Amino acid sequence: MRSWRGDDDVAYLAVGADRPPPTEFVERCLETLREQGRLRVVTSALTPADSLPFVDAGFSVRERLHLLAHDMTDVTAPTRPTRRARGADHPAVLALDGLAFDDFWRLDEMGLDDAIRATPVARFRVAGDDGIAAYAISGRSGHQGYLQRLAVAPSSRREGWGRVVVSDGLHWLARHGVRRTLVNTQLDNASALALYEACGFRRLAVGLCVLGRSL
């Protein structure tokens, strides 16, 4: 449990992939957060099944997300180069992220670190002719791949940089034996949805949701 995007009034509950916690554990977490003086709490993105203990504890849907999968066939190398993101790139990456996402979704330094550390192995790349036009964080756990985070600078949209960093991540994952890669995006993010589908992702029937409640 930690603050959401640097806001100490809002707590963030990250839920592990193995199984959701029982409702009793969720209730204990809520009590701890109240003692800390938190006012609200949000969860990580959950499947409908994993959200049930939270719904039982009074949570409701804060955001709904499309979930898309790539079967890792016909993966090709990017048409333009990317480079490894360095620590010195973080301020520019976060500034880009702040322009690409609204207040609820944009990352701070801790959120960026969470995205990098969310999987056992991660790849953090940036691309652009002059400065950083786009970045992506890809991760893998065994044969499962994830496109953790991607953003394109508004001034660089429709220049192909989003496709470059997606292709880079997929190519890296395929080289390491990943058999399926997942990505999610907000229901109203039409440009991201079009990008992912153009890169070979397909929408799954069941999406994800972020839950929240007041304390």
Tokens of 9: 């009034």
Q: How far apart are CA 173 and CA 98, in angstroms?
A: 27
Q: What pLDDT was estimated at residue 114?
A: 86
The residues of the chain that CATH labels 3.40.630.30 are: 72-178
The architecture in CATH of the region 72-178 reads 3-Layer(aba) Sandwich (3.40)
Going residue by residue through the chain (215 aa), what tens digit of pLDDT does each one get?
677 777 788 888 877 655 678 888 889 999 999 999 999 999 989 988 889 999 999 999 999 999 999 999 989 999 999 999 999 999 999 999 999 998 888 898 988 998 999 899 999 999 999 899 999 999 999 999 999 999 999 999 999 999 999 999 999 999 999 999 999 999 989 999 999 999 999 999 999 999 999 99
Q: What pLDDT was estimated at residue 19?
A: 67
- Helix 109-117 to helix 90-100 angle (10° resolution) is 100
Q: What are the E-state strand segments in 83-203?
A: 83-84, 121-127, 134-141, 144-152, 180-186, 202-203
One-letter identity of residue 209 = C
Q: Are 109 and 95 in contact (CB under 8 A)?
A: no
Which residue bears the tokens 């791949």?
145
Instruction: Give bridge partners of residue 68 from the DSSP assignment.
Output: 183, 203
Q: What pLDDT was estimated at residue 167?
A: 97
Q: How far apart are CA 215 and CA 210, in angstroms?
A: 16
Q: How far apart are CA 137 and CA 172, in angstroms?
A: 11
Number of Cβ within 10 Å of residue 103's Cβ equals 8
Q: What pLDDT was estimated at residue 23?
A: 86
Torsional sign, CA 77, 124, 44, 6: negative
